[in-house]
Amino acid sequence: MPVDLGLTLPQFGAAAGDAARLGRFAADAEAAGAASLWVGDRLLAARDPEIGYGGADTIPVEFRRALDPFALLAAAAVTTTTARLGSSVLVAPLYAPAILARSLATVSALSDGRLLAGLGIGWSPEEYAAAGVGFDRRGARLDELLDTLDVLWSGRGEGLDGRFWTTPASWVETPSPRVPIYVSAFSEPALRRVGRRCDGWLPVARLTERAVESADKAVEGLTTMRATIDEAALAAGRDPADVGTELRINLTADVDRDELAEAVALLADRTGFRRIFLDPMYRDDSLEDRLATFTQVRSSLGAPGS
């Protein structure tokens, strides 16, 4: 089975300076065979962070420039026709449920139902402080937000009086088809949440200069986490096959394109994950280089039409 390969949109760092070209980039990526296009979510980059990014003490300089994820998704929605549009991820508790519901429903309508809503809980206390939201109980906040989205999108005009938000009984825009909810998860409780109630999972693999070696090391962790999701799905009376997976591949600056294609093929073959997307934020500053990286990897994988 061929790999369904996607690409992140130019949202952070130097690429954010080309925002006016983003719609054209999305169209060009789709024309080059991108099956999906993705955004992330950074509200700010703290100068003296309490918690750094990815286990470090600092935050990447690329996050000092960040474009709004909903605006980018809307731009891609109106310049493409077939690519899935996704977020990996929106820091969901930063948004009141009704506001998030409206934004997601709007992008879904603009894209004719091509949106996949990827949610997570984030890692930056400073972003939570800036949004006026408590950093504690983030998992519980996410659960309540998921509950509220279900209620708001039920079409029954109901509300929910929760622990963190009060949403009055209301009529809101109800997306049709329903927006699938994927969640980023790594800990056992979060993985079990995915299996129990979500439409899919958003794992991440980080590829370094030795791309094939780092891909090989990532396989065991990815498959173990997916097994936890499958177990939770079965326990909840769900078919694990109904819980999708979209694997994000983060690239360091020194990843060789030829070896990258080999590493992607290894990950797909050994995990069974066929929906994969590349994030070349650290590797490729220009839009042209990002598209070239995607095109070469897709061609090397022998994707249909490449």
Q: What is the pLDDT of residues 69-98, one digit of tens each?
A: 999 999 999 999 999 999 999 999 999 999
Indicate if the pLDDT at residue 1 is higher than 90. Answer: no
Residue 31 has what pLDDT?
Answer: 98
Q: Do the Cβ atoms of 91 and 204 come closer than 8 Å?
A: no
Q: What is the pLDDT of residues 252-304, one digit of tens each?
A: 999 999 999 999 999 999 999 999 999 999 999 999 999 999 999 999 987 65
Residue 121 has what pLDDT?
Answer: 97
**Residue 1's CB: how many other CB atoms inside 10 A?**
7
Residue 235 has what pLDDT?
Answer: 98
Residue 303 has what pLDDT?
Answer: 61
Give percent of the chain with pLDDT exceeding 70: 99
Domain boundaries defined on the chain: 4-301
Indicate if the pLDDT at residue 99 is higher than 90. Answer: yes
- Across the chain, mean pLDDT equals 96
d(CA 90, CA 121): 8
Indicate if the pLDDT at residue 306 is higher than 60. Answer: no
What Cα–Cα distance (Å) separates residue 174 from each residue in 14, 105, 200, 285? 36, 7, 20, 38
d(CA 43, CA 35): 27
3-state secondary structure the chain: CCCEEEEECCCEHHHHHHHHHHHHHHHHHHHCCCCEEEECCCCCCCCCCCCCHHHCCCCCHHHHCECCHHHHHHHHHHHCCCCEEEECCEEHHHCCHHHHHHHHHHHHHHCCCCEEEEEECCCCHHHHHHHCCCCCCHHHHHHHHHHHHHHHCCCCCCCEECCCCEECCCCCCCCCCCCCEEECCCCHHHHHHHHHHCCEECCEEEECCCHHHHHHHHHHHHHHHHHHHHHHHHHCCCCHHHCEECEEEEECCCCCHHHHHHHHHHHHHHHCCCEEEEECCCCCCCHHHHHHHHHHHHHHHCCCCC
Q: Give the mean pLDDT of 101-130.
A: 98
Q: What is the pLDDT of residues 210-241, one digit of tens each?
A: 999 999 999 999 999 999 999 999 999 999 99
Q: What is the pLDDT of residues 33-62, one digit of tens each?
A: 999 999 999 999 999 999 999 888 999 999
Token readout for 15 is 């690429």
**Residue 220's CB: how many other CB atoms inside 10 A?**
11
Q: Give the mean pLDDT of 235-248.
A: 98
What Cα–Cα distance (Å) separates residue 249 from each residue in 110, 221, 252, 268, 283? 27, 14, 10, 11, 12
Full-model pTM: 0.96
- Type of residue at 17: G
CATH number, span 4-301: 3.20.20.30
Residue 304 has what pLDDT?
Answer: 55
Q: What is the pLDDT of residues 174-196, one digit of tens each?
A: 999 999 999 999 999 999 999 99
Which residues have C-beta within 8 Å of that of residue 237, sequence separation ≥ 6? Answer: none
Q: What is the pLDDT of residues 135-177, one digit of tens each?
A: 999 999 999 999 999 999 999 999 999 999 999 999 999 999 9
